[in-house]
Amino acid sequence: MKVLMVDIDKCTGCRACEYACSFAHDGEFNPLNSRIHISEFLDDFVFVPTYCTQCDEAYCMDVCPTKALTRSQSGVVELDYDKCIGCKQCVIACPWGNIKLSSDAKRVIKCDLCGGEPECVRVCHAGALEFVDVEDAVLGKQIRAAANIKRSAVAGV
């Protein structure tokens, strides 16, 4: 199983992911309709991508009265528009703000990982977003942390 991972240190704040996401899903460019969102914290020049992490215990799915939200075999919480009645309970239930209303307020929108080939990852030249096997998800972080420890060890600290 693969998961979407983010490395905040690498994000340059270009927002190509927002454009690519909206274009992949709706055929037009509108960051308000992007399932991934870049928040800027300019005092520290930190850019934080936030997106649906397909929670194991998905409140959006639990609260849905019509079972429009279901988990697929690959672990993605998917939205069936034929069953969705637009009650927006899922929007309220999501603690992260990662399931939302489209900018015209007509649809609930949610990350579907583009069927296994996320556009946000494809367009991210900085390498801040990766779609990786779950067992490798934190490997990069582990190795970087280990490298720090190694540096200290070599330096005899």
Partner 1 sequence: MVGGYAGKILRVNLTEQTISTEDINLKWAEDFIGGRGYGERLLFDEIDPRIDPLSEENKLIIATGPLGSTTAPSSGRVMVITKGALNGTMACSNSGGHFAGELKRAGYDMIVIEGKAEKPVYLWIYKGQVQIRDASKLWGKNTKETDKLLKRFTHPEASTLQIGPAAEKLSLISNITFDGRRMAGRTGIGAVMGSKNLKGVAVKGHLSIRVADKERFAKAVYQARDILSKDAFSGKGGAKYGTAVLVNVINKAGGLPTRNAHDAYFDNAASISGERLTKDHLIKAEACDSCSIACGRVTQITSGKYANNKGVGPEYETIWAFGAACGVDDLDAIVMANYLCNEYGLDTISAGATVACAMDLFEAGYIPKSDIGFDLRFGDADAMVEAVKLMCEQNTDFGRLLAKGSYRLAEHYGHLEFSMSVKKQEFPAYDPRAIKGIGLEYATSNRGACHVRGYTIGAEVLGGLDKSSYEGKAKLTKKLQDLTAALDSSGICLFTTFGLKAKEIAELFAAATGFDCDKDEFVKKGERIWNLERIFNIKAGFSADDDRLPERMEKEPIKSGPSKGEVANVSEMLSEYYSLRGWDKNGIPTDKKLKELGLEGLL
Residues 104-123 that bind partner 1 (CB under 8 A): 122-123
Q: Which residues are CB-neighbours of 85 under 8 A, at least 6 positions away? A: 65, 66, 68
- Contact (CB, 8 A) for 90 and 64: yes
Q: What's the closest the beta carbon of residue 126 comes to partner 1, in angstroms?
A: 6
32 makes contact with partner 1 (CB under 8 A): yes
Residues 43-62 that bind partner 1 (CB under 8 A): 45
Residue 126, both tokens: 């900085």
Q: Is 113 left (phi over 0), alpha (psi -120 to 50) or beta?
A: left
Nearer to partner 1 among residue 82 and residue 104 (C-beta): 104
Q: What's the closest the beta carbon of residue 57 comes to partner 1, in angstroms?
A: 30
Q: What's the closest the beta carbon of residue 124 comes to partner 1, in angstroms?
A: 9
